[in-house]
């Protein structure tokens, strides 16, 4: 993202905030993994969205109309000894020169400076609950200001949820954001192709996962957007399966739900394919139902349709297919009303996508499903999951199928960002057959 893009976002937020206000946003914390080892640091999505400053122990402050500059960063000071061990720090000079902060102060001075910045403001925009330790500091500063009001100082009268404002801004993606998301999607699609080409009976799920990560990283996506799901056979029926430690068996399906993160933007793709490269007749029948449901749902993604219409379209096709195969009995419309399909399809058909894989944004406004608009990005991911219920023929048992794509709402309809990952039965089988020939 460019400096101009970050500045535009801050300006949009400050216009929402209005005069006599201040926004305070701490960055993420470093979390220990085990003794002397931390998890890799990733900035809070809202923090990164507003400034791109990706260091821990930092706080962003916005003050609309402030004479000496509206954009302030509190961050660590330069420390050459610590930088030898842990890497470069921007420091106060870098926060201004590199990230265009109007002012920057040492994080150690936060207690001394931030209460004074809040003192004459009517509204404080801050999100309680994300960081309990920082919440305590905020409460302490505000209480101190209230007590000082007896001596003539002014204290804020409102605390307003900052995330509510940011969520709506983040829901609509700019051209630069779409460019990053399109790249994450393209890399992720390549990774799924690589996984299909690599997979064969006898491999372990984690070996396939390694192929995904290899493709992500060699294309500049240094991290998955979420823990990859690589579930063979019955593991594909576990929605959030991440152990990825089982051996792949002949005649099983492999469900892979994996996406790369690029510049803090996520892709989210699911593909399901046969371990040995050829669908059985039962797998073909179930898979085609899910694929047809996905196509129907994607067709419903367009401006003016409401959020739930893709889900409704998918449920209609899935239920009709289940009745056709005898997995459900009865009238289709009544089965839908009774949600009988939930025995085999228990999640919704999508979610918002952006900096977080389950991205921010309201799904309803005033109790009504919101309308889709250009710039929104969502996933479309119907599935069927049949474990081993006694009333179901064993030929269907332990079959998990999900097909997921990332879809951008455009002015005229939609764009499937993840179209590079094959999902037609013939295309998958042809790709895997060619890979088999090369291995021989």
Distance CA 238, CA 268 (A): 17
Distance CA 12, CA 35 (A): 42
Distance CA 372, CA 389 (A): 38
Report the DSSP pairing between strands 123-125 and 21-26.
parallel
Residue 218, burial from CB neighbour count under 10 angstroms (0-12, 13-18, 19+): exposed
Question: Considering 404, 405, 406, 429, which one is annotated as catalytic?
Answer: 404
Centre a 10 Å sphere on the Cβ of residue 54 and count the other Cβ atoms it contains.
17
Question: Considering 215, 252, 268, 356, which one is annotated as catalytic?
Answer: 268
Task: Kindly state the tokens that stand for 260.
Answer: 């790369």
Question: Considering 70, 381, 405, 429, which one is annotated as catalytic?
Answer: 381
Q: Are 303 and 371 a contacting pair, CB within 8 Å?
A: yes
Active site (annotated) includes residue 306: no
Alpha-carbon separation of residue 263 from 46, 96, 215, 267, 338 (angstroms)? 13, 21, 16, 11, 43
Question: Considering 78, 347, 348, 387, which one is annotated as catalytic?
Answer: 347
Distance CA 295, CA 313 (A): 9
Active site (annotated) includes residue 36: yes
Continuous H helices in 149-241: 162-171, 175-198, 205-218
Q: Are 165 and 194 a contacting pair, CB within 8 Å?
A: no
Phi-psi category of 191—alpha, beta or left, where left has phi over 0 and alpha has psi -120 to 50?
alpha
Active site (annotated) includes residue 287: no
Question: Considering 146, 214, 324, 358, which one is annotated as catalytic?
Answer: 358
Active site (annotated) includes residue 385: yes
Q: Are 22 and 118 a contacting pair, CB within 8 Å?
A: yes
Question: Considering 194, 351, 370, 436, which one is annotated as catalytic?
Answer: 351
Active site (annotated) includes residue 347: yes
Question: Considering 257, 320, 405, 429, which one is annotated as catalytic?
Answer: 257
Active site (annotated) includes residue 404: yes
Of the candidates 381, 383, 422, the one whose C-alpha atom is nearest the C-alpha of residue 399 is 383
Question: Considering 265, 385, 405, 414, which one is annotated as catalytic?
Answer: 385
Active site (annotated) includes residue 257: yes
Got the DSSP string for 61-79?
EE-TT-TT-SEEEEEPPP-
CA angle, 178 then 181 then 187, to 5°:
140
Active site (annotated) includes residue 405: no
Distance CA 248, CA 405 (A): 24
Catalytic residues, by residue number, are 36, 240, 257, 268, 347, 351, 358, 381, 385, 402, 404
């Amino acid at each position: 993202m460019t400096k101009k893009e970050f500045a535009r976002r801050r300006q949009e937020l400050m216009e929402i905030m209005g005069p006599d206000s201040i926004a305070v946003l701490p960055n993420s914390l470093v979390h220990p993994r085990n003794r002397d080892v931390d998890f890799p640091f990733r900035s809070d999505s809202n923090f990164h969205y507003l400034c791109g400053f990706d260091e821990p122990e930092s706080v962003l402050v916005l003050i609309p109309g402030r004479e000496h500059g509206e954009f302030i960063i509190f961050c660590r000071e330069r420390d050459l000894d610590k930088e030898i061990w842990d890497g470069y720090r921007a420091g106060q000079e870098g926060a201004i020169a590199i990230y265009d902060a109007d002012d920057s102060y040492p994080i150690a001075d936060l207690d001394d400076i931030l209460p004074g910045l809040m003192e004459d403001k009517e509204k404080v925009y801050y999100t309680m609950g994300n960081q309990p330790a920082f919440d305590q500091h905020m409460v302490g500063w505000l209480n101190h200001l209230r007590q000082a009001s007896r001596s003539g100082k002014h204290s804020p009268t409102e605390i307003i949820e900052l995330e509510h404002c940011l969520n709506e801004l983040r829901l609509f993606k700019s051209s630069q954001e779409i460019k990053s998301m399109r790249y994450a999607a393209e890399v992720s699609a390549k990774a799924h192709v690589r996984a299909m080409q690599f997979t064969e009976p006898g491999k372990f799920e984690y070996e396939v996962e390694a192929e995904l990560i290899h493709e992500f990283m060699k294309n500049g996506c240094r991290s998955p957007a979420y823990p990859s799901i690589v579930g063979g056979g019955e593991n594909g029926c576990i929605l959030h399966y991440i152990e990825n430690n089982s051996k792949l068996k002949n005649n099983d399906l492999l469900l892979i739900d994996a996406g790369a993160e690029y510049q803090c933007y996520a892709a989210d793709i699911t593909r399901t394919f046969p371990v040995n490269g050829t669908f059985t007749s039962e797998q073909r029948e179930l898979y085609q139902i899910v694929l047809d449901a996905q196509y129907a749902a994607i067709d419903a993604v367009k401006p003016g349709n409401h959020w739930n219409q893709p889900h409704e379209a998918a449920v209609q096709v899935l239920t009709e297919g289940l009745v056709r195969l005898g997995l459900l009995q009865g009238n289709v419309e009544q089965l839908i009303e009774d949600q009988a399909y939930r025995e085999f399809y228990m999640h919704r058909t999508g979610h918002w996508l952006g900096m977080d894989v389950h991205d921010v944004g309201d799904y309803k406004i005033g109790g009504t499903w919101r309308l889709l608009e250009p710039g929104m990005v969502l996933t479309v991911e119907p599935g069927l999951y049949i474990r081993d219920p006694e009333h179901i023929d064993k030929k269907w048992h332990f079959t998990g199928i999900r097909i997921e794509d990332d879809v951008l709402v455009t002015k005229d309809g939609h764009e499937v960002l993840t179209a590079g990952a094959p999902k037609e039965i013939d295309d998958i089988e042809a790709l895997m057959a060619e890979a088999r020939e090369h291995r021989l």
